[in-house]
Structure 1
Amino acid sequence: MLSTQPVDALLLVTDLEVAREFYGRTLGLEVLFEDGEQFITFGCGGDSRLVVTKSSVGTKDEATKVSWRVDDIAAEVAGLRTRGVEILEFADLNTVDGIADVGFALAAWFEDPSKNSLGLLQLKGDAAH
């Protein structure tokens, strides 16, 4: 059954070397394997993986593609900023220092070099379990 199987998130990127630098060095994800021309697979927490795949057309969808569940969003945001990642501010979400209260969670967003929207979520209450 799929409900018991791990899942991999896939993102389109326009430049694999730029993606390797951003996800590997800037975000600190480990390269698990790659083919050198079409994709790179990075390890994340538990058995989750992030796969970036080369695209010749880029990305057009502005919706969040991947969100990491974190225990301390303020610390993660601060850590990303020290590595040169710009945390996005959204007036309509009343972000404070890049963090929004979206009801069930605290959330923050940033973009990769291919303009994929990435997020952080610190779940609250029952959603955290």
Structure 2
Amino acid sequence: MLSQLEAYSVLPAKDLKRAREFYRDKLGLEPAEEHEHGLVYRTPSGARVQVYETENAGTARNTALGWMTDDLEAEMAALRSRGVVFEEYDVPGLKTENGIATDSEGKAAWFRDSEGNFICVSQSV
């Protein structure tokens, strides 16, 4: 049954070379595996994030991938120092200040990767 299996994330990229450079230069990630049509990244716990080439990249308007941290501001400062730009929102139910949305469950910030995918970094209370 699926409840006994490990899940993984899949992110689209229009330009795999550009995506690799973004994930390396901006996020500090190196692929654990490389295939003809994709890259595989691994988290410290072994979770798999696959990036594959497709023309559909950047068309989703939702969060595609998220990371949890114990210090959101420090993560954001490190990412900003590498050129990552965080989204600002001011819509019903979501307002950011300096890129951070806060609610009773914690804080979150979003940015887009080189392919237009929305990525979130969050911190629980």
Relative to the length of structure 2, the TM-score reads 0.90
The aligned amino acid for 1:29 is: L
The aligned counterpart of 1:32 is 32
Q: Equivalent residues in 2 for 1:1-129 (5 A)? A: 1-35=1-35, 37-92=36-91, 93-124=94-125
**1:45 offset after TM fit, Å?**
2.8
Relative to the length of structure 1, the TM-score reads 0.87
Distance 1:57 1:98 in 2: 27
Distance 2:67 2:44 in 1: 9
| Greater Cα offset, 108-117 or 4-13 | 4-13
Q: Please say if residues 6 and 47 of structure 1, whose CA atoms lie closer than 8 Å, have aligned partners that are also in contact.
A: no
The aligned amino acid for 1:75 is: A
Identity of aligned residues (%): 36
**1:20 offset after TM fit, Å?**
0.6
Distance 1:102 1:2 in 2: 32
The aligned amino acid for 1:96 is: E
**1:91 offset after TM fit, Å?**
1.6
User: Per the alignment, in what secondary structure is the counterpart of residue 31 of structure 1?
Assistant: coil
Runs of 5+ unmatched residues, structure 1: 125-129
Q: Please say if residues 29 and 44 of structure 1, whose CA atoms lie closer than 8 Å, have aligned partners that are also in contact.
A: no
Q: Please say if residues 25 and 82 of structure 2, whose CA atoms lie closer than 8 Å, have aligned partners that are also in contact.
A: no
The aligned amino acid for 2:21 is: E
Q: Please say if residues 11 and 52 of structure 1, whose CA atoms lie closer than 8 Å, have aligned partners that are also in contact.
A: yes
Distance 1:119 1:79 in 2: 15
Runs of 5+ unmatched residues, structure 2: none
Distance 2:4 2:56 in 1: 34
The aligned amino acid for 1:83 is: R
TM-superposition CA deviations, 1:40-76 (whole Å, max 9, x none): 0012231112110100233311100111011110101
More helix by share: 1
